[in-house]
Amino acid sequence: MVTGRRVPRLKILHLANGKIVHLANVLRAGVGYNRGRQARKQGEVVMCFSAEASFAASSVLAASSIAIARIPKEKAGIPLSLFPAVFAAHQFIEGILWLNHDGVLPDAYKAGALYAYAFIAFVLWPIFVPFSAYLIETERKRRIIMLLCQGTGLLVGLTLLLSFLRDPLEVSVDCCSLSYHVNAPDLLIAPYLVAVAIPFLASSRRSLVLFGVAITGSCAAAAILASATTFPSVWCFFAAILSAGLYVHFRIAARTTVHQFSTSAPSGAIAR
């Protein structure tokens, strides 16, 4: 684990023509790979984030949520369509935490932003994900699996909520990533993953299965690239970016609905 002051994010080194070239303007949003002194000794690669990265992600997700809102959809799909919007708010909140750490915002904003971020990450998602997947599923056996995930998510979410109420939350910077200190048992990691990934993997809709695979893959990537305490921040960032891909799901679903209506309607029924 790397601790200490934040590592400058604009030092990204690239070997070209035998010389070390400093790419100071690459990824101005603030995302990159960086190494602290201890990490360099251990050969670890650490994800590096910033307020700019969080606000940039929030903007992209806000645009994605607006685009999804304009697509006709069934009422059952509305909770799922809110994912990019919730993630946009989530990344915006983390941007506020970064600004507080950088001294741009006073500590008066810290507590509210910290608990809001933690509530979404640790309590809302394990409950909201299986609920959203269950609503749009039509096959009975798959819905049973999602109900089991819903029960698991409720247990995880409420347990973590109680831990927030019992013990104060803390946030710090661990090698240019935010580190959230939550007093919760490690055994909740597996049930949490079950609650947020299995509902999509069990879906009868191929696009959602692919989304579930991507979420699971992003979890593995975050586990490799982040420390134990920065894992929530890194995984949430990856999942947030992936949620923008739900636009494809809703676009496909809308086209399928139109096609089914056109083929089932009597000849001339849809002509104007």
Residue 31 lies in a domain: no
State the DSSP code for 272. Answer: -
Residue 58 lies in a domain: yes
Residue 271 lies in a domain: no
Half-sphere exposure of 264 (CA within 13 A, CB side): 6
At residue 59, the pLDDT reads 97
Phi (first) and psi of residue 36, to 5 degrees:
-85, 175
At residue 1, the pLDDT reads 41
Give the per-residue SS3 of the chain: CCCCCCCCCCCCEEEECCEEEECCCCCCCCCEEECCHHHHHHCCCEEECCHHHHHHHHHHHHHHHHHHHCCCCCHHHHHHHCHHHHHHHHHHHHHHHHHHHCCCCCHHHHHHHHHHHHHHHHHHHHHHHHHHHHHHCCCHHHHHHHHHHHHHHHHHHHHHHHHHHHCCCEEEECCCCEEEECCCCHHHHHHHHHHHHHHHHCCCCHHHHHHHHHHHHHHHHHHHHCCCCCHHHHHHHHHHHHHCCHHHHHHHHHHHHHHHHHHHCCCCCCCC
Residue 10 lies in a domain: no
Please determine, for residue 195, whether its predicted confidence score (pLDDT) is greater than 50. Answer: yes
Per-residue pLDDT reduced to its tens digit, 218-261:
999 999 988 888 999 999 999 999 999 999 999 998 887 664 54
At residue 184, the pLDDT reads 82
At residue 269, the pLDDT reads 43
Residue 148 lies in a domain: yes
User: How confident is residue 207, by pLDDT bands cut at 50, 70 and 90?
Assistant: very high
Residue 191 lies in a domain: yes
Contact present, 250 and 236 (Cβ < 8 Å): no
Residue 46 lies in a domain: no
Instruction: Give whole-number Cα distances, 43 to 8, 37, 40, 225, in Å.
Output: 19, 10, 5, 12
Domain that holds residue 207: 51-257
Number of domains in the chain: 1
Count of other CB atoms within 10 angstroms of residue 172: 12
**Mean pLDDT over each residue of the chain, to the nearest integer:** 82
Q: What average pLDDT does the segment 41-66 reach?
A: 82
To the nearest whole percent, how much of the chain has pLDDT over 90? 64
At residue 137, the pLDDT reads 96
Residue 150 lies in a domain: yes
268 three-state secondary structure: coil
Q: Which of 71-75, 124-128, 220-224, 254-258 has the highest mean pLDDT?
A: 124-128
Q: What average pLDDT does the segment 25-50 reach?
A: 46
Please determine, for residue 124, whether its predicted confidence score (pLDDT) is greater than 50. Answer: yes
Specify the range with the lowest mean pLDDT, choosing from 9-13, 49-53, 136-140: 9-13
User: How confident is residue 72, by pLDDT bands cut at 50, 70 and 90?
Assistant: very high
The C-alpha atoms of residue 248 and residue 83 are separated, in whole angstroms, by 13
Indicate yes or no: pTM above 0.95.
no
At residue 125, the pLDDT reads 97
- Helices 83-101 & 246-264, crossing angle to 10 degrees? 170
User: How confident is residue 193, by pLDDT bands cut at 50, 70 and 90?
Assistant: very high
Q: What average pLDDT does the segment 158-176 reach?
A: 90
At residue 98, the pLDDT reads 95
